[in-house]
Every structure is written in structure tokens, then in C-alpha cells.
């Protein structure tokens, strides 16, 4: 089952992004364009 979400930037819809169900590699999330929301702000601190 494919699941997608709308991606918004600045109030504008910029397209569909797939949800990273079953993906546990952050590099793969970024490279393959998955939707990701880091509520912990840990990724910002790491980059």
C-alpha cells in the first residue's frame, strides 16, 4: 500500500511526497525524497 502526503512550503503545495514507512536510514530518506518531520530537532543539531 503506497501512502503519500502533500508537501507544503510557505503555504504553497509543492507536490506529493511518499511516507517513509519501514525506512530506517536517514540518508535514504533524504536521497529518495521521503516526507520526514523531525520533532526532536536532533537532525538539525547533527547537520
Please state the pTM of the whole predicted model.
0.49
Q: Burial of 3 by CB count in 10 Å (0-12 exposed, 13-18 middle, 19+ buried)?
A: exposed
- What is the Cα 7 distance to its own chain's centre? 9
What whole-number distance in Å separates Cα of residue 1 and Cα of residue 44?
31
The SS3 assignment for 25 reads coil
pLDDT tens-place string over residues 9-42: 666 666 777 888 888 888 888 888 887 777 787 7
Question: What's the pLDDT at 42?
Answer: 75
On whether the CB atoms of residues 16 and 6 are closer than 8 A, the answer is yes
Question: What's the pLDDT at 1?
Answer: 47
Amino acid at each position: 500500500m503506497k501512502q503519500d502526503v502533500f508537501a507544503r512550503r510557505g503555504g504553497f503545495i509543492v507536490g506529493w511526497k511518499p511516507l517513509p514507512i519501514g525506512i530506517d536510514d536517514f540518508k535514504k530518506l533524504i536521497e529518495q525524497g521521503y516526507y520526514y518531520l523531525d520533532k526532536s530537532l536532533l537532525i538539525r543539531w547533527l547537520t
